[in-house]
Every structure is written in structure tokens, then in C-alpha cells.
Amino acid sequence: MAANSSIIADFEGQPPSSATRWPARNSMGAERRYRETHHAKGSGLSHLQELISAGEGTEPAEVRRLAGEMQIPEATLRGVLSFYTDFERKSTATRVCQGTSCKLAGSSALGASLRSNHECHDTYCLGYCHRSPAVLSSEGELFTGNDARALANGTFSGIHAEDDSTPLRCLAREPIVLRNVLKGHVRDLAAARAQGVYEALAKALRGTPQELLDTVEQSGQRGRGGAGFLTGAKWRSCANAPGQPRYVAVNGDEGDPGSFVDRVLMEDDPHSVIEGLILCAYAVGASEGVIFIRSEYPRANAVMRQAVAEAYENGILGKSVLGSDLALEVSVRTGMGSYVCGEETAMLNAIEGWRGEVRIRPPFPAHAGLNGKPTVVNNVETLVNIPYIAERGADKYSAFGTARSKGTKVFSLNHGFARPGLVEVEFGLTLLEVMEEAGQGAGGQRLEAVILGGPMGSILLPQEWGVQVCYGRMGEAGIQLGHGGLVAIPEGADFRALLEHWLEFMMEESCGKCVPCRLGSKRAWRLLHQEAPTGRLQKLNRLFDLMEAGSLCAFGQSMPRPMRKLVEKFGDRIFAPGGRL
């Protein structure tokens, strides 16, 4: 999910000087020190993952044993175990994607019929929106589209996961993000090197961190997580913050249901992610990097782990990066099934092994992030831009895009478009142009709307498609670019089902930290199913107001927006007297 937005984003960029000092007990400080003084071994979720297999750890005696091994308090451990779906459910179960795109492709029914024959559970989302529906078998085999539908017959045998390549296109003058992916898989180091990966790093290491920081700042690049915060400013803020060690955390748990660019980048251009990470570490003086990848992306996990290992073997990571004085340790951590962990502070909690709950801000991660130390959190797409900027220079990069939005953006187009896949465009193009390139609706179907940026983004009607792709323009129009996922809604779609889907998604994934999001979703769901419809619309809108204004993080704040619009524009089809009330 979008990483940067915050209820007090207005104050972002000028964190108060006291932020690092106060409040002293915030952000799991006591729990960290507890583990430190208890000489806890291993770290965080990964360690817990190693210690338990699913379903364990619920009996008091078992909790006591595990808590002793983990050196975290018993109730805290129970809280962690019950937070993540992968601990709750058997990791060996088949996962059926229930992301919006798959939902529109009938994943509810698919899931229901699969459940009658297999142990399986729902998940958001596997990142194959261009080929919905998607199912991930317990063996890690992926089934999409018709193959997935065929699974409903009750057997996995005889069906072979088809080629999983993603159609890629570039409308920009030059590909930046997809520069390597467009040339085919560059998974292994040799292939990556052949494409010039790590040359930008070599060049940057010949200069100073300050120079690199200046370059990134001058490039005007913005984080691709959703809020569009200036990458250079974030780095500078971290570089200037007191505290050691510093961290770079790569958010590989991002991507709203509907967006899959990060998955593709991690799977097909892992070394560019690592290169971006190292460049960031060099610029801000970080000595450790963590790449956090959602468990719903098993292949991205495997590829990134392999790439990190290769980088270590070849002197790209470790005590001396490319023979320089830079020392950098990098590890890959796998999420345990929580959508909110794409929110940067929730992700930091997850990496540390706590409940993936959102932290209050300030302090911002740049000042007090991972283990309470200065941390840059960047998402995958953001970091893949960095080597390009470092190598070609700020001017070259900022020549792409608009005055306020530099560079390019990759859109993820779902199966509802005639030509789904990834499309890299320069900022400044209109959304309509992007969609026309995608050939509008699949099978010539007219589109009634598109969802941009996932359930936390915007639902856009045809008259709004002329908007320029640009953080500034979109912001003015109240449109969230989010992570650039585009989900086509064909004519005649079941909007009631869509609304229910979003509310279920919210109930399922809300971290539980703040009341509007935690209880608001359920109350809205109940309103929708309440028999007497009197005043229901008004009540729903009041709830949306509350969640939007009152929630602690972007998840609760942004989820109501498309739902509100759905109710406003298609209320008759959701609440129609003759409809499925």
C-alpha cells in the first residue's frame, strides 16, 4: 500500500527538532530494549518463522516456550502470531487471489469451488492482475486466467502453469524503470552486468555521498509509493538525523491490488533494486539494508535472495562494496501476510518482528525508523530509478516529465484491458492516452470506469480520464495516482459486489491500531447488510468522513474515497430497490 501519506503529512519535511527525543517510549523502544537485555537471538519475523510452523503457538505452554526462545513477552508473541495471516493459516495451503482485478474475474466463485476440494485461503494480491484470476498452489506453482479457472474442476494435475511473462511497453522517449526488463530477464549477475547494472554505483563510489545526494535531490524524483514525497529530501532528512547505525529499507510489500510493477522489477531486474539500495545507503551513510518482500510474491523472494547472495559473492555487498570503503550488509525478509505492512511504519514493525501496526508520526522513519534508528524507506520502483539518475545525472532525468513530476511512471494494466501488462509513460501524458495505448476494454467491452491506484486510489469515470499523469495535477483534482495500478471496470459490473469487496478487504487488513479504520469498516459493512435502509446513505457517508479524516494512516484515510464515489455515482445499482439488497 501507499507508503508515505500520513494524517500529518502537512508537517512532513519539517519534523520538529524534538522528534527524536520525544516521545521516548514510542515506536517499540521498550520492546526492543527488552529483547536486547534478554539477549534475544535472531531477529524479528524471520526468526519466528523459523521457529514455528503454522498452527502452533496457541497453547499457553507452547506460547511460553516460543516466547522464551524469541525472548519477547508472551502476550506480545500471541499478538504477533495472531496478526499475520501466514501464521494463522497453513502456509502449505493454496492461495486464491482476491485482489480487485481477480475479484472482477470471478475469484469469489473460484475460491468457493476450490475450497470444497483443497485447503486454501484468500489473499490480496498475487500481482498477476494482467491475467486474473490467479491462484498460487501450495507447491508455489502459479495458475492464472483459464488455467486457474480450470482448477475449479478439482484437480491441479494435468494443468501446467503457463509462461508467466508480463507484456511490457514503453511510451516514454526512453525507458527508465523498465530499461533492463524490456531487454528480457536480467536475473543473474552476468546478465545484469551485461546491461550495465552496477556501473552507476561504480561511478557514484568515485564521488562523494554528498554529490550523490545532491544529484538525487536535483533530479526532482518523487517516491513512487503514492504520496510522491521528494526522494532527495527524504534522503537528506535521514542523512542529517543523528543516530547509528542507519538503515535502508526496501519496501517490496507495496503495490495496491492492481499494481504489479514491483513484482516484475524484483523478479526480472533484481540487481537494479540492489544497486538503488546501495546508492541510497552510500548517500545517507547507512550500513544495513533490508529488502522486505510480501509472501504473496514467492518468486520475487527467491530471485531477490539469489541476487543478494550473488552480490555478496562478487564483492558488491559486504565489507567492501566494489572494493570501496563502503560496507553494507543486506538481507531479504519475507512478509507474513498483511497488506498494511506495505505502509512504511507497519513494515518497519514487521521487520522487527512485531505486529505490523502503523506507528504514529512523528517521529518519521528518517529520524527513528528501523530499530529506532534513522531509516530511508523506499519502494522498489523508486529505487530502480536511482541508478539511472546517478549515471546520467539529474538534468538528464529531470528532462523527463512535467514541472512538478519528473521522470516516468509505470502503469500496471489489468486483464480488463485489451492489452494488459506494464506500460512506462512520461509524466504529463493523459490517463486516456495510457488507456488508449492499452486498447481500452478487453474484448471490445466498453469500460464504465477505471480504478487507479487500487482500493486506496480513485475510481475514475470516463469524463475524468483526460487528467494528466502528474502528482500536481492529479492532486489538484483529488485523484490518487497511488502505485499506478489500473483496473478496468467493464460496463454492467456489479458495484454492490465491488463495495462489499472493498469493505471486506478493509476489515480483513486493517491493522487495528486506530478506531475509525478498525471499527468503521465493520460498521459500514453492517450498514450495507442492514435490513432497514432508512438513512443508510447518510450514515455511510458519515462513516466515510470519519475514516477519511480520523484514521491514522493512508489505509484508513484513503480507502473510503473510492467507496464514497461508488456510492455517490452508482448508488442506484448498489441500493436499487429491485437489486440485491
Partner 1 sequence: MNRALAWINNIEIEIVQGETILQAARRLGEEIPTLCYSPGLAPEGGCRLCLVEVGRSPRLAGACHTPIQHGMEITTHTPRLESLRREILTLYLEVDEQREFPTDTRDSEFGRLLEHYGLRPKSNPCAQADERSNRTHTYLRFDPDLCISCRRCLNACEQIQGQFVYGIASRGPSTHLIIGPGERFDESACVACGACVDQCPTLALTDRDRMNGKPAERVTQSVCGYCGVGCRVEVESAGNRVLRIRGVPGAAVNRGHLCVKGRYAHNYHHSPDRLTTPLKRVGSDWIPISWDEAIHFAAERLQQVRDQHGPNALGGLASSRSTNEAAYLLQKLFRTQIGTNNVDCCARVCHSSTALALQIVTGTGAASVSFADIESARCIVLAGSNATEAHPVVGARLKQAVLKGAKLIVIDPRRVELAEYADHHLQVRPGGNVPLFNAMAKVMVDEGLIDSAYLQERVESVSEFREFLRAVSLETAAEQSGVEPAKIVAAARLIGNLRPALFVTGLGLSELTQGTASVMTMANIAMLTGSIGRPGAGMMPLRGQNNVQGAADMGTMPTQVTGYQSLRDPQVRNRLTQVWGSAPPEEAGITIPEMLDAAARGDLHALWVQGEDIAHSDPNEAHVIKALTNLDFLMVQEMFFSETAKYAHLILPAAGALEQEGTFTNGERRIQRVRPAVEPPGESRADWTVIRDVGIALGAEWHYDEPAAVMKEIARVAPHLFGGVDYASMGPDGVQWPCPEPGHTGSTRVHEDGFVRGKGRLVTIAYAASPEQCSTEFPFVLVTGRVLEHYNVGSMTRRTAQCELVGEDFLEIHPDDASAIGIAAGDFVELESRRDRAKARVRLSQRMTPGTLFLAFHFPESHTNRLTSSYTDPQSKCPEYKITAVRLQPATAVPLE
Location of C-alpha cell 551513510: 285
- CA dist list (Å): 468 to 411, 433, 475: 13, 9, 11
Type of residue found at 452: L
DSSP at 364: P
Q: How far is the CB of 33 from partner 1 (least distance, A)?
A: 5
Number of other CB atoms surrounding residue 540 within 10 Å:
22
For position 146 contacting partner 1 by CB under 8 A, the verdict is: no
- Judged by CB under 8 A, the residue of 26, 306, 398, 468 near partner 1 is 26
Q: How far is the CB of 93 from partner 1 (least distance, A)?
A: 19
The residue range among 288-296, 401-409, 447-455, 511-519 that interacts with partner 1, by the rule CB under 8 A, is 511-519
Q: Which three cell numbers stand for residue 195?
A: 546491461
CA 281 to chain centre: 21
Closest to 573 in 3D by CA, of 504, 498, 496:
496
For position 519 contacting partner 1 by CB under 8 A, the verdict is: yes
Closest to 148 in 3D by CA, of 128, 165, 121, 166:
128
Residues numbered 244-273 forming contacts with partner 1, rule: CB under 8 A: none
For position 550 contacting partner 1 by CB under 8 A, the verdict is: yes
Q: Which three cell numbers stand for residue 162?
A: 503457463
418/488 Cα distance (integer angstroms): 10
- Judged by CB under 8 A, the residue of 34, 233, 393, 404 near partner 1 is 34
Q: How far is the CB of 544 from partner 1 (least distance, A)?
A: 11
User: What values do phi and psi take at 324, rounded to 5?
Assistant: -90, -175
Closer to partner 1 by CB, 95 or 361: give it. 361
112/135 Cα distance (integer angstroms): 13
Closer to partner 1 by CB, 426 or 509: give it. 509
CB burial of residue 186 (10 Å; 0-12, 13-18, 19+): buried
- Judged by CB under 8 A, the residue of 52, 54, 360, 497 near partner 1 is 360
Residues numbered 69-108 forming contacts with partner 1, rule: CB under 8 A: 73-79, 82-83
- Judged by CB under 8 A, the residue of 516, 528, 554, 559 near partner 1 is 516
Type of residue found at 83: F
Q: If you count DSSP H runs as helices and E runs as strands, how many of each does the chain have, helices first?
A: 25, 14
Closer to partner 1 by CB, 39 or 139: give it. 39
The residue range among 45-53, 112-120, 171-179, 520-528 that interacts with partner 1, by the rule CB under 8 A, is 520-528
Residues numbered 153-172 forming contacts with partner 1, rule: CB under 8 A: none
The residue range among 54-62, 157-165, 194-202, 281-289 that interacts with partner 1, by the rule CB under 8 A, is 54-62
Q: Are 362 and 19 in contact (CB under 8 A)?
A: yes
User: What values do phi and psi take at 377, rounded to 5?
Assistant: -110, 115
The residue range among 136-144, 199-207, 454-462, 542-550 that interacts with partner 1, by the rule CB under 8 A, is 542-550
Residues 6+ apart with CB under 8 A from 489: 104, 416, 447, 448, 449, 450, 451, 459, 498
148/72 Cα distance (integer angstroms): 41
Q: Are 124 and 339 in contact (CB under 8 A)?
A: yes
The residue range among 95-103, 140-148, 200-208, 510-518 that interacts with partner 1, by the rule CB under 8 A, is 510-518
- Judged by CB under 8 A, the residue of 180, 219, 521, 558 near partner 1 is 521
491/474 Cα distance (integer angstroms): 25
- Judged by CB under 8 A, the residue of 347, 511, 540, 559 near partner 1 is 511
For position 16 contacting partner 1 by CB under 8 A, the verdict is: yes
The residue range among 239-247, 440-448, 516-524, 569-577 that interacts with partner 1, by the rule CB under 8 A, is 516-524
Q: What is the strand order of the sheet 168-170 is part of?
A: 168-170, 421-426, 408-413, 485-490, 447-452, 458-460
For position 9 contacting partner 1 by CB under 8 A, the verdict is: yes
The residue range among 274-282, 297-305, 375-383, 504-512 that interacts with partner 1, by the rule CB under 8 A, is 504-512
Quickly list DSSP for 262-302. Answer: HHHHHHH-HHHHHHHHHHHHHHHT--EEEEEE-TT-HHHHH
Closer to partner 1 by CB, 417 or 555: give it. 555
- Judged by CB under 8 A, the residue of 355, 373, 409, 473 near partner 1 is 355
For position 514 contacting partner 1 by CB under 8 A, the verdict is: yes
The residue range among 203-211, 230-238, 423-431, 541-549 that interacts with partner 1, by the rule CB under 8 A, is 541-549
Closer to partner 1 by CB, 81 or 330: give it. 81
Dihedral, 553, 557, 558, 564 alpha carbons, nearest 10: 160
Q: Are 176 and 386 in contact (CB under 8 A)?
A: no
For position 37 contacting partner 1 by CB under 8 A, the verdict is: yes
- Judged by CB under 8 A, the residue of 41, 173, 319, 522 near partner 1 is 522
For position 466 contacting partner 1 by CB under 8 A, the verdict is: no
Residues numbered 317-346 forming contacts with partner 1, rule: CB under 8 A: 338, 340
Pairing verdict, β 447-452 and 458-460: antiparallel
Residues numbered 406-465 forming contacts with partner 1, rule: CB under 8 A: none
Closer to partner 1 by CB, 110 or 514: give it. 514
Closer to partner 1 by CB, 31 or 162: give it. 31
Number of other CB atoms surrounding residue 308 within 10 Å:
22
Q: Are 502 and 510 in contact (CB under 8 A)?
A: no
- Judged by CB under 8 A, the residue of 159, 171, 418, 515 near partner 1 is 515
Binding-site ranges for partner 1 (CB under 8 A)? 7-11, 16, 18-19, 21-26, 29-31, 33-34, 37-38, 59-61, 63-64, 67, 73-79, 82-83, 338, 340, 355, 360, 362, 506-516, 518-523, 526, 542-543, 545-546, 549-552
